[in-house]
Structure 1
Amino acid sequence: MGKINFVFWRSRLRFLILTFLGLAIALMLNFPFWAIAQTPVSSNAPASDAAINTIEQPTITPIRPTNNNELRGIWLTNVDSDVLFSRQRIQQAINRLKRLKFNTLYPTVWNGGHTLYPSKVAEKTFGVEIDPNPDLQNRDMLAEVIELGHEQNFAVIPWFEYGLMTEEGSELMRQHPDWVSNRKDGSQVFVHGENNEHRLVWLTPAHPEVQKFLTDLIVEVVKKYDLDGIQLDDHFGMPSELGYDPYTVALYKKEHFGRLPSDDFQDPEWMKWRASKLSNLMQKIAKAVRAVKPNCLISLSPNPKDFSYKKYLQDWYSWVYLGLVDELVVQLYRDNIENFTRELERPEWQEIRQKVPVAVGILTGLRIQNVDMRQIKGQVKVAREMSFDGFSFFFYETLGNRDASFESLFFAPATRPDIKSIASARS
């Protein structure tokens, strides 16, 4: 009996020792990662560098893409960024983005009332062939991005960033003042920027000469360059308080037996009518683009559905059902993960995603606003958990010194989704 007890307790003691050693080893392996993730940014770090230079370690298992199709885009701008201002900078950026496993470039080509490439349409319309920035002269920035991007197997989709906007006092506005829309009180300007430096006006989408100009501008790029698509965004709209310019009012009266539009810019019938003129323009652009290059992708980067319509008269939901859009990259620039998630849970996304690929536009920073890497990773995780088709980051310059963190988001190269690939994946 005593021998049996001795053997029993010796076995028991050995089990306890092995268990304790296993727990100790596990704690030693996991504690450094937990500690790093919980370490705050030094209070001595400059505010402008705090988010950009912090590389967080993941505290949870990352959610991987459900298949090998994932849009990984980045917007390349000419504001607060010099990436487009020399061929060398473009080459360096593309090499870097390839290493980080991005697959899509959205370079701006229409900003501030100027084209960033040599444009015969712009020259004919308002006498200025290309943006006067010295770094854009005697070269073709867009041709360089396409050449260098395609060498590295990127999709290159020029982005008509300003849409129906132009700067107050631009040559376009000076030569075509009748194209500009106004509020009921006659005012036209919208002031933006940290120091109110941007004074913007909007062209009326109902005007046939505006329609011709924008359609010709986009078709020019599609004809001239070996691009993969074109992109419009939330600026391809018109603020809902506008529409009281003489041309639009006269057209409304003509179509309503002489009746004036409502003084209330939010009147449902008045909003619907103006939205229909924008939709007509979208139809013309899509038809013209596909007549030139049937496989040219038409990408749209709008705000969420209700906001787009109420704020900019942009009925993109209908555009998808009309077959005018091949890809959506919805702008969700939220600093609260609950709001971000709540927006992606809205039922319209489930419907739209049966029609076209839907990716999420994620803010990685602004010149005056840092975005913490933990927020970016959290939003990517949510988008993947909810099986969205990828994401695009705004904008290149704000990747900062965080390559290791961005690289950790992309485990392997991925192919851009398209309508055929999502149809087969969801059938």
Structure 2
Amino acid sequence: MPKKLSGDRSIPTPGLKGRDILKEIVDVGHQKGLTVIPWFEFGFMAPADSLLAKNRPQWLTSRSDGTRIVKEGTHNRVWLNPFRPEVQQFIQDLIVEIVRNYNIDGIQFDDHFGLPSELGYDAYTVALYKKEHRGKAPSKNFKDPEWVRWRANKITEFMKRVFTAIKATKKNCLVSVAPNPQRFSYDFFLADWQKWERMGIIEDLVLQIYRDDLNVFVSELEYPEVKAAKSHIPVSVGILAGLKNRSIPMQQIQTQVQKVRDRNFAGVSFFFYETLWNMSKEKPQERQTALQKIFPTPTAYPNLLAGWKPFS
């Protein structure tokens, strides 16, 4: 990726300079028999103080009042405009570079491959919307159904383009998405993963269901779009293992895993690694023992491409 866009080519953390961490993870992961699927977590999001944001301010999008900063916890973030061709090319080139240069088994996206629905009021996007709506400006109500639909469809078009580019580079590289439930993804991030799944441009779905209430957790597993996806591609469920300031009891994790298994989902995923035992109110050894009971024997990662056919 050109240095002029993203700044220093090397990893900023001093202890990691001179190392290729992704290559190390892929090599060691494969030695251990693991499937390695890096998570393209930030999507179109960027740190507000990043060199990319500073060097390409015209690439950023905004709210209707012109403000750009979006808080992620205590962090200031900005969002690249997913409707600009040069932004799309930058993101696609970055993804293809990873797929081409590393022996990864897949690549994963999430809702950040969309856009917070309050954004999209930059001059470029407004002009594009007007061009396709006979001069009519987008609604000041960022939840307006047509304004939401138009932006979501543009992002879907780009997702299709990225899927095609990944497959052209490495046909067996899995395209995975780990979004929130459909209603949230679509309404808040313009990420219409239900449509992506129906179009056949995602091959693996890991649904983030970070809920404490067991009844709510189970109800999320029963939505029609989840069942439809499950009949077409492998669908796993993301379970919250804890946050830095919030410990989740292992009993809750065990119960949720069982509810997922009862419904024959493809598997489970935990967010995030450190909270499985290092960052918890319960003793690490107790949590490790409990986790070993949940997963007593190794299992092979399923061949997700075997027999899979996209919808026409």
TM-score, structure 2 length as denominator? 0.93
Q: Which of these residues, 377, 381, 399, is aligned with residue 254 of structure 2?
A: 377
Determine if the alignment matches structure 1 residue 178 to structure 2 residue 63.
no
Q: Distance in 1 between matches of 2:139 and 2:208?
A: 31
Q: CA deviation at 1:417?
A: 2.8
Matches within 5 A, 1:297-308: 297-308=174-185
Is residue 144 of structure 2 the alignment partner of residue 259 of structure 1? no
Letter in 1 for 2:216: N
Deviation at residue 282 of structure 1 after TM alignment = 0.6
Pair 1:152 & 2:32 matched:
yes
Match of 1:285 among 150, 158, 162: 162
1:405 alignment partner, one of 284, 290, 293: 290
Residues 359 and 389, structure 1, Cα contact 8 Å, conserved in 2: yes
Listed as ranges, the matches of 1:359-374 within 5 Å are: 359-374=236-251
Read off the aligned partner of 1:405 and give its amino acid letter.
A
Structure of greater relative contact order (alpha carbons < 8 Å, 6+ residues apart): 1
Question: Counterpart in 2 of 1:28?
Answer: none
Shift, 1:262, TM fit? 1.1
1:10-29 matches, within 5 Å, as none
Q: How has the CA–CA distance of structure 1 residues 150 and 190 changed in structure 2, closer, same or farther, with 3 Å as cutoff?
A: same
- Is the 8 Å Cα contact of residues 122 and 128 (structure 1) preserved in structure 2? no
Matched ranges for 1:84-123 at <5 A: 121=1, 123=3
1:213 is matched with 90
2:34 is aligned with what amino acid? F
Letter in 2 for 1:411: P
- Number of the residue aligned with 1:415: 300
Shift of 1:124: 4.6
The residue correspondences of 1:8-407 to structure 2 (distance < 5 A) are 121=1, 123-193=3-73, 196=74, 198-400=75-277, 401=284, 402-407=287-292
TM-aligned CA distance change 1:163 to 1:325, over 3 Å:
same
- Output the CA distance in 1 between the equivalents of 2:189 and 2:10: 28
Cα deviation 1:259-313 (Å, max 9, x = unaligned) = 2111111111111111111111111111111001011000100000111100100
Give the secondary-structure state (helix, strand or coil) at the position aligned to 2:274. helix
Rounded Cα–Cα distance in structure 1 between residues aligned with 2:248 and 2:197: 31
1:397 CA drift (Å) = 1.0
* 1:158 CA displacement: 1.0
State the number of aligned residues: 301
Cα distance in 1, alignment partners of residues 49 and 260 from structure 2: 41
Measured after TM superposition, the shift of residue 394 of structure 1 is 0.9
Structure 2 residues without counterparts, runs of 5 or longer: 278-283
Q: Give the secondary structure class of the aligned counterpart of 1:156.
A: coil
Q: Tell me the distance in 2 between the aligned counterparts of 1:422 and 1:219.
A: 25
Moved more, 287-296 or 392-401: 392-401
Shift of 1:326: 0.6
SS where residue 112 of structure 2 aligns?
Answer: coil
Identity %: 47
**Residue 205 of structure 1: SS of its match in structure 2?**
coil
Residues of 2 paired with 1:361 and 1:342: CA distance?
14
Inter-partner Cα distance in structure 1 for 2:51 and 2:101: 24
Q: 1:188-224 CA deviation, whole Å, 9 max, x = no partner?
A: 111232xx2x001111110111100110000001110
Instruction: Answer yes or no: is the 8 Å Cα contact 2:10–2:18 preserved in 1.
Output: no
The CA distance in 1 between the partners of 2:71 and 2:102, in whole Å, is: 34
1:179/1:203 contact within 8 Å kept: yes
CA distance in 2, matches of 1:292, 1:383: 34
For residues 415 and 318 of structure 1, the distance between their equivalents in structure 2, rounded to whole angstroms, comes to 29
- Give a deviation string over 1:42-75, Cα, whole Å, max 9, x none: xxxxxxxxxxxxxxxxxxxxxxxxxxxxxxxxxx
Q: Deviations over 1:159-183 (max 9, x none)?
A: 1111110011211110111111111
